[in-house]
Amino acid sequence: MGSLAQSGCGRPARVVTLCVCVSLLGGLTFGYELTVISGALLPLTLEWGLSCWGREVVVGSLLLGALLASLVGGFLIDGCGRKRAILGSNLVLLAGSLGLGLARSLAWLILGRLAVGFAISVSSMACCIYVSELVGPRQRGVLVALYEAGVTVGILLSYAIGYALAGAAGGWRAMFGWALAPAGLQSVSLLFLPAGTEDSAGLGDLVPLQDAERPRQPRYSFMDLFRARGNMRGRMALGLGLVLFQQLTGQPNVLSYAATVFRAVGFHGGASAVLASVGLGVAKVAATVAAMGLVERAGRRALLLAGSALMAVSVSGIGLVSFAVPMGLGPRCQAVPAATQHNALPGGTSLPPKPRASRDPWQPILSPEETTMPHPGARGVTASPGPVLGATSPEPSSPASENHLLRWAALVCMLAFVSAFSLGFGPVTWLLLSEIYPAEVRGRAFAFCNSLNWATNLVVSLSFLHLLGAIGLSWTFLLYGLTAALGLAFIYFFVPETKGQSLAEIEQQFQSLRFPLGSGRGQSSASIRYCRVEAS
């Protein structure tokens, strides 16, 4: 690691090691907070007798806090600095987690979730930018992708802790508190890191051969993001296009309704829950680790192209398989009657003497023959902690011999879809967003794209039921496949390659309009020549 650390920006190995901790622990905190509600919602509902509306608000309040943070977080990141923004968000996370652990009313629970959502959104943006600026070109892609790996590990950790604490009295309070451990360790790591890099000095080190003068770092305002100056309009179009296609491919719904899809094609009972939560989580981790190893070898563009192509094929395959197995949907979610709160586990089973977690952490408390509305995911990297459809609907009776191949075809397509997203759009989108904008407005540009990401995620998630009712499950997933194909074309024609380039080199290429929007195809970092000069 020491030899790698000395490349690029000349950072010592200690800085790279601490950046690894900051990125991994930041992602772990994000993933844990995002999905811890899946394990806490059931005991919380049984203890407080939450109505359907109450459960929806508890789950959705984190999304609202994250959306608010994405609107104002960019100004905090650029104004206060990346390091201070992360430390400040961890303090907000501390306050929110304590509020959740000590909550005695629904209002305090919602306020705590709002605070946590705000904190993890600001931290996620600041972490990617901060790490990308501290390390050299050879480590930047790996360390930003490491954040995505931390997110997936955090999801799996939340499932494990939720299962372990489900039978404990007040276990849901401890579930919320465990997020403080990685956030605290991340804060300690930050104390030994510098506040940031000298971007202006970095820009002065690299000068195009055709211009012998030392370049001046231009100053940008927020409104410049939408103007032609410095090719900012093209950069924003590139960033917004990436986050739009990341969500419009239906990734939140495919993951959130993974258990439902497995039931629809023949996987019944606890098997669908295991496949949805653990099997897909392991696939995401494996694919993200593969992306970490390939992002600086194959390049960002190659991973996006391969991931989008595989997503288009696999999600279309799910749609084709579902043609053979119709899926019935219940009308709506209902509150838990007070007389049945202690035996209203999903599927109509009753609580044993020692309470335990539901076999499917995605399933809500439902009345017979009812289903619940979905809740959106977040950031485009993970499944929403919302409930699934068809959790208590009667299991269709079809011969195993007829559905055997269909079951495994659906499983293969689902695993391929999840892996493809974690190989391409998952880590690479946020890596590119941390690279393509000038340092002065990088936080605001990143946050603006992130706000569109959250908003699109919400629209895609809430439109799922309407699409199912209008065109059916098969055509819905085929529509997602078409969107993935359009995303593939967008990447092929418009997304440039930034592999192996410093942030200063990327900035100069955009400044000179060497790869404006519309010239991504065939773009190579070798097309522009640079020389290093000594700054006087």
**For the packed helices 464-494 and 442-462, what is the interaxial angle rounded to 10 degrees?**
140
For the segment 301-315, the average pLDDT, to the nearest whole number, is 95
pLDDT in tens, 225-252: 888 887 888 899 999 999 999 999 988 7
Is the pTM of the predicted complex or chain greater than 0.95? no
Q: Phi and psi of 207, rounded to 5°?
A: -130, 130
pLDDT in tens, 424-472: 998 999 899 988 998 888 889 999 999 998 888 878 877 777 787 888 8
What is the token pair recorded at 374? 């979905």
Using 50, 70 and 90 to split pLDDT, how confident is the model at 309?
Answer: very high
**CA 255, CA 277: separation in Å to the nearest integer?**
9
> What pLDDT shows up at residue 226?
81
For the segment 382-405, the average pLDDT, to the nearest whole number, is 46
Beta strands 530-532 and 206-208 are antiparallel
pLDDT in tens, 282-299: 888 899 899 988 998 899
Which is more confident, 317 or 404? 317
State what percent of residues in the chain have pLDDT above 70.
70
- Measure Cα distances from 201 to 9, 204, 286, 506 in Å: 11, 5, 38, 15
Residue 204, pLDDT above cutoff 60: no
How high does pLDDT run on average in the chain?
A: 75
> What pLDDT shows up at residue 14?
85
pLDDT in tens, 365-376: 333 333 333 333
> What pLDDT shows up at residue 520?
52
> What pLDDT shows up at residue 97?
92
Q: Nearest CA to 259 among 409, 362, 408, 374?
A: 362
What is the token pair recorded at 350? 């009753």
**CA 490, CA 478: separation in Å to the nearest integer?**
19
For the segment 315-330, the average pLDDT, to the nearest whole number, is 73
On whether the CB atoms of residues 281 and 159 are closer than 8 A, the answer is yes
> What pLDDT shows up at residue 218?
60
Residue 395, pLDDT above cutoff 50: no
For the segment 485-491, the average pLDDT, to the nearest whole number, is 96
pLDDT in tens, 132-174: 888 888 888 889 889 988 998 998 888 888 888 877 888 899 9
What is the token pair recorded at 114? 């709002």
> What pLDDT shows up at residue 199?
40
On whether the CB atoms of residues 364 and 377 are closer than 8 A, the answer is no
**CB neighbour burial string for 35-50, b if at least 16 within 10 angstroms, e if fewer:** bbbbbbbbbbbbebeb
Using 50, 70 and 90 to split pLDDT, how confident is the model at 55?
Answer: confident
Give Cα 56 distance to the centre of its chain.
20
